[in-house]
């Protein structure tokens, strides 16, 4: 479905990031909107992502505006002027690597808390007619989920690491700005996202790289090393589709879980990848907490709310095959 009736301007923070560039691609194909990408291009930002999904140089020039800015600093008058009028904000810019947050938590406080506060203040002071501000949070704010538990949107927080805690803090700032200043906030909690052009340290591209090179992959498991961790993986294209869905049908002030089609154990996922590649999987199960303190064996969110509204993601099997085959032909991203 195409949304072309009104020409909007959307600000995407972290547009050169993994999820952000998929959102840019989706909006270019499904709308006639103008996109402003705000990015500082550091650890995970890569303009080659945007270049690859906007192969038509005229399309890039006409509909995508790229601005460099580090959100640890407030948006000054020059940056505000460059951004121009904005109808929607999708806030994805964040430090997002758990291991690095454990090593340097203050970096994540600055990026995810202070950065979010600066963006909210920009919206408060400059965007009086802003229609929606979508904050991308994470499933990690709820902490580990026992077997059979699926957290709903408004369940309590129990962050296991500084990354999740700073995302929870940013979420609370958003809610406070909605309550105090009537900023039209929507919060999403995303499960583990995968897709094309993902950072190679993430689980799925890491497994693909190890299988292709016949290397052993270490997979987190319980303390007895009998059962691997599990996640409900979702493709970045489904996140992009959900964003557009929520911009039109989401209610201001509400939270929504963006969940993959089914839960899957990481070992089972790795075996699926090896099968697609027609190669053997070399692996070893390791105690998840001893090897990576601050990590959770199982995350689980309820996707009932979005499903009731009429949105569902594509199957993990279909998406996984697409990504594996794409990486085989684009190994430069490993």
Q: Which amino acids are annotated catalytic?
A: 163
Pairing of strands 283-287, 193-194: unpaired
DSSP 137-159: EEGGGG----TT--B-TTPPP--
Pairing of strands 230-231, 264-265: antiparallel
CA dihedral 250, 253, 254, 257 (to 10 degrees): 90
What are the C-alpha distances in Å from 65 to residues 23, 68, 172?
A: 14, 10, 30
Query: Which strands form 255-258's sheet, in the order they lie side by side?
Result: 64-68, 34-39, 9-13, 88-91, 132-138, 185-190, 255-258
CA dihedral 70, 75, 81, 87 (to 10 degrees): 90
Integer Cα distance of 236 and 91 in angstroms: 15
* Residue burial 15-53, b: 16+ Cβ < 10 Å; e: rest: bbbbbbbbbbbbbbeebebbbbbbbbeeebbbeebbeeb
- Bridge partners of 283, per DSSP, are 217
Tokens (6 digits) for 197: 């052009």
CA angle at residue 302 from 300 to 305, to 5 degrees?
160
E-strand stretches of 191-254: 193-194, 217-221, 230-231, 234-235
Q: For residue 107, which phi and psi values (nearest 5 degrees)?
A: -60, -40
In contact, 91 and 62? CB cutoff 8 Å: no
């Amino acid at each position: 479905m195409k949304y072309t009736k009104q020409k909007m301007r959307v600000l995407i923070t972290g547009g050169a990031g993994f999820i952000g560039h998929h959102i840019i691609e989706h909006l270019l194909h499904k709308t006639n909107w103008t996109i402003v990408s705000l990015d500082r291009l550091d650890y995970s930002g890569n303009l080659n992502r945007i270049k690859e999904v906007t192969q038509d140089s005229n399309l890039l020039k006409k509909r995508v505006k790229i601005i460099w800015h580090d959100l640890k600093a407030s948006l000054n008058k020059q940056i505000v002027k460059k951004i121009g009028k904005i109808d929607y904000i999708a806030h994805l810019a964040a430090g997002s690597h758990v291991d690095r947050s454990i090593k340097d938590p203050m970096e994540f406080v600055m990026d995810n808390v202070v950065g979010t506060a600066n963006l909210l203040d920009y919206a408060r002071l400059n965007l009086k007619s802003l229609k929606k501000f979508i904050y991308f949070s994470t499933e990690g704010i709820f902490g580990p989920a026992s077997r059979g538990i699926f957290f709903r949107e408004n369940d309590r927080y129990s962050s296991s690491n500084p990354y999740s805690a700073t995302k929870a803090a940013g979420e609370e700032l958003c809610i406070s700005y909605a309550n105090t200043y009537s900023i039209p906030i929507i919060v999403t909690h995303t499960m583990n996202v995968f897709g094309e052009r993902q950072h190679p340290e993430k689980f799925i591209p890491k497994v693909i790289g190890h299988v292709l090179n016949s290397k052993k992959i270490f997979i987190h498991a319980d303390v007895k090393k009998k059962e691997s961790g599990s996640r409900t993986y979702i493709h970045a294209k489904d996140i992009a589709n959900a964003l557009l869905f929520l911009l039109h049908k989401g209610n201001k002030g509400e939270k929504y879980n963006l969940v993959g089609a089914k839960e899957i154990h990481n070992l089972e996922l790795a075996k699926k990848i090896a099968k697609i590649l027609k190669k053997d999987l070399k692996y070893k199960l390791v105690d998840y907490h001893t090897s990576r303190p601050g990590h959770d064996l199982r995350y689980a969110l309820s996707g009932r709310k979005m499903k009731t509204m009429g949105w569902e993601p594509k199957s993990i099997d279909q998406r996984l095959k697409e990504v594996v085959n794409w990486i085989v032909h684009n190994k430069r991203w490993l």
